A and B are shown apart, each in its own frame.
Chain A
Amino acid sequence: MRKLRGVISNSILAVALIVSVPLVASAQPSRLILDFPDLSGKASETVDVALDGSMLRLAAGFLSSKDADEVRIRELVRDLKGIYVKNYSFDKEGQYDPADVQRVRAQLTGTWQKIVNVKSRNRAGTSEDVEIYLQNVNGRIEGMTIIASEPKELTLVNIVGPIDLQKLSALEGQFGIPEGLSGDAPRKDGSQ
């Protein structure tokens, strides 16, 4: 009888765990805290894009329906709830603390999974590390985070909502934005 009771209580525990997993999963935030006030002060250039759902819809309304790339972008962001990007460029190496990056990684637990970690080196010998995380909630991609770190540059991207990674990477350099981050970038160094 005691054995039976133990089986039952174990089963209840198992059921409770199974039931609680989706609850925990859905509670995991897709939007991360990407706030580094110290870095903005040290960076020679800062790009800060914060588009929530309503701003995304507004922006999508101003995309061209004649330009094939902008049509693809509109399609890509249709169901997104937010896009947040921070890009810091520094004059010298070692101006950002790896602990800052670690603060972002610390948020990527639970339903977040690291799918890629690339350490590359370009011809000039500069290293660039790219980590890509996807948030998988009940088999659905609900978010993406990119951490790209170079000695003089740190980029953090947080996309909230279902995103197609393949379509996103296929867009690179395709939609008429000048190379480099000048021009359209909402810079905070007053150089705009």
Chain B
Amino acid sequence: MDLEQELKQALRRVDPPEGFVERVLVRIENESSATVSQNSFGPFPRLVPRWVATGLLAASIGAVALGLGTYRINRLAGERAEGIRARQELLLAVRIASQKTNLARTAVQKTSFELR
């Protein structure tokens, strides 16, 4: 038995479960929100009790962070979708152009063959 060859076979790469990328993006989104809402916010005027100020600021930062996180993930997904759509359009455009030029080329070749 060739152990090294068998190990290569046994340890070959495998696909992760379906939806892996999406789950990673969701975790990034969740983490982005959490990280920003945990940030300290420096001196705050002592006009209101500190716990009220803390609560209000944390809530507003949380809301903004959530919005930013969602925006970022949406933008990532949007960029990716745009890239995939552009690829499909490119393949389609090249296929149409290729089909027409090939038609012309074939016709020209056929004509020159018949003229011989």
Q: Which residues of A come within 8 Å of B, CB atoms?
A: 47, 49, 51, 55-56, 58-63, 70, 73, 76-77, 83-85, 87, 116, 118, 120, 128, 130, 132, 144, 146, 148, 155, 157, 159, 165, 168-173, 175, 177, 181, 184-186
The docked-state distance in angstroms from the alpha carbon of A47 to that of B105 is 24
Q: B96, A157: Cβ atoms under 8 Å? A: yes
Q: B100, A83: Cβ atoms under 8 Å? A: no
> Given A58-B82, A118-B107, A168-B101 in contact, is the A184-B88 Cβ separation under 8 Å?
yes
Q: Which residues of B come within 8 Å of A, CB atoms?
A: 82-105, 107-108
> Given A169-B105, A173-B99 in contact, is the A55-B92 Cβ separation under 8 Å?
no
8 contacts between A and B (CB under 8 A): A51-B89, A62-B83, A85-B92, A118-B104, A118-B107, A165-B101, A168-B98, A185-B92
**Count of chain A to chain B residue pairs whose CB atoms are closer than 8 Å in the complex:** 116
Q: A172, B99: Cβ atoms under 8 Å? A: yes
Q: A120, B89: Cβ atoms under 8 Å? A: no
Q: Which of B84, B87, B94, B103 contacts A171 (CB 8 A)?
A: B94
- CB-CB < 8 A to A76: which residues of B? 94
List 7 A-B pairs, minimum CB-CB distance, nearest first.
A59-B86, A62-B87, A59-B90, A169-B101, A172-B102, A184-B88, A172-B98
The docked-state distance in angstroms from the alpha carbon of A57 to that of B96 is 19
Q: B100, A155: Cβ atoms under 8 Å? A: yes
The docked-state distance in angstroms from the alpha carbon of A47 to that of B89 is 10
Q: Which of A47, A73, A172 contacts B91 (CB 8 A)?
A: A73
Q: A169, B108: Cβ atoms under 8 Å? A: no
- CB-CB < 8 A to B102: which residues of A? 169-170, 172
> Given A58-B86, A63-B87, A132-B104 in contact, is the A83-B93 Cβ separation under 8 Å?
yes
> Given A116-B108, A186-B85 in contact, is the A77-B97 Cβ separation under 8 Å?
no
The docked-state distance in angstroms from the alpha carbon of A62 to that of B15 is 20
Q: Which of B84, B85, B92, B107 contacts A177 (CB 8 A)?
A: B92
Chain B: minimal CB distance from A14 (Å): 37
Q: B96, A85: Cβ atoms under 8 Å? A: yes
> Given A83-B97, A116-B108, A169-B98 in contact, is the A184-B90 Cβ separation under 8 Å?
no
The docked-state distance in angstroms from the alpha carbon of A156 to that of B31 is 49
A72: nearest chain-B partner, CB-CB: B94
B96: nearest chain-A partner, CB-CB: A85
